[in-house]
Amino acid sequence: MDPYKVLGVTPQTSDDDVKRAYRELARKYHPDNYINNPLADLAEARMKEINEAYDMIMNERSGKAGGAGGQQYGGQQYGGGQQHAYSGANAALYSQVRQAINQGNLGLAEQLLQRSSARDAEWFYLMGTVYYRKGWYDEAMRAYTQACQMDPSNMEYRTALNNLNMSGGYGGYRPMQEANMCDMCMQLAICNCCMNMCCNAGC
């Protein structure tokens, strides 16, 4: 791997510009932009490559062999977060559905949900997530909205709905203003990412 090529810079580029190029790429491929996206694994691999390239360049320049090369984005672990608190009559079914969704088996998840006769808030939330993963954003929005109406206090549902409504706005995609990236957006993105880590981990 040529780290300079990965970051799109040359050995003559100044440290500041390397850092800028790195940040720009890290913003683009940040895992938060790819939540519920079927290409999330590819973005993650790209992010890893970018981090490695940045480390290599910075280590090489500071004459160190290994060690930290500055702050990094995107290394967060998503697993292990808060467990969802559902404990209703369909708990067993819903945990099966969540498992299917996490494994990317959307067909199975949808089948399990359709077969069940329950139509509670959790059902709509899970159905919304299946739709979200499939890119059926209008159906996802309706299902999430329904879940939030049925259980307004549930943060997981609320976060999912917010995510769906907002990521079109600034999750890596800003139609007319993509060139002037401001720090504000970055901070928002990081805030958002923290929230997601806490609230989205279950599913």
- Exactly one of 150, 172, 188, 195 binds other proteins (CB under 8 A); that residue is 172
Are 170 and 32 contacting, i.e. CB atoms less than 8 angstroms apart? no
- Exactly one of 3, 7, 21, 34 binds other proteins (CB under 8 A); that residue is 34
The residues, ordered by sequence, that sit 6+ positions from 109 with a Cβ below 8 Å of its Cβ are 97, 100, 101, 126, 130
- Exactly one of 70, 88, 104, 135 binds other proteins (CB under 8 A); that residue is 135
Are 165 and 141 contacting, i.e. CB atoms less than 8 angstroms apart? yes
Half-sphere exposure of 51 (CA within 13 A, CB side): 17
Task: Quote the least distance from Cβ 29 to other proteins, whole Å.
Answer: 7
**Segment contacting other proteins by CB under 8 A, of 94-102, 109-117, 150-158, 173-181:** 173-181
- Radius of gyration for the alpha carbons in the chain, expressed in angstroms and rounded: 20
Q: Which is nearer to other proteins, 90 or 146 (CB)?
A: 146
Q: Which is nearer to other proteins, 42 or 191 (CB)?
A: 42
Taking the mean position of all CA atoms in its chain, how far away is CA 198? Answer: 12
Gap between the Cα atoms of 30 and 81, Å rounded = 19
Select from 80, 32, 29 the least CA-distant residue to 52.
29
Q: Does 104 bind other proteins (CB under 8 A)?
A: no
Q: Does 168 bind other proteins (CB under 8 A)?
A: yes
Q: Does 15 bind other proteins (CB under 8 A)?
A: no
- Exactly one of 9, 18, 26, 33 binds other proteins (CB under 8 A); that residue is 33
Gap between the Cα atoms of 59 and 66, Å rounded = 6
Residues touching other proteins, count (CB under 8 A)? 29
**Segment contacting other proteins by CB under 8 A, of 7-15, 85-93, 138-146, 181-189:** 138-146
Chain length of the chain: 203
Question: Which residues bind to other proteins, rule: CB under 8 A?
Answer: 28-29, 33-34, 37-39, 42-43, 46, 131, 134-139, 141, 164-165, 167-169, 171-173, 175-176, 178
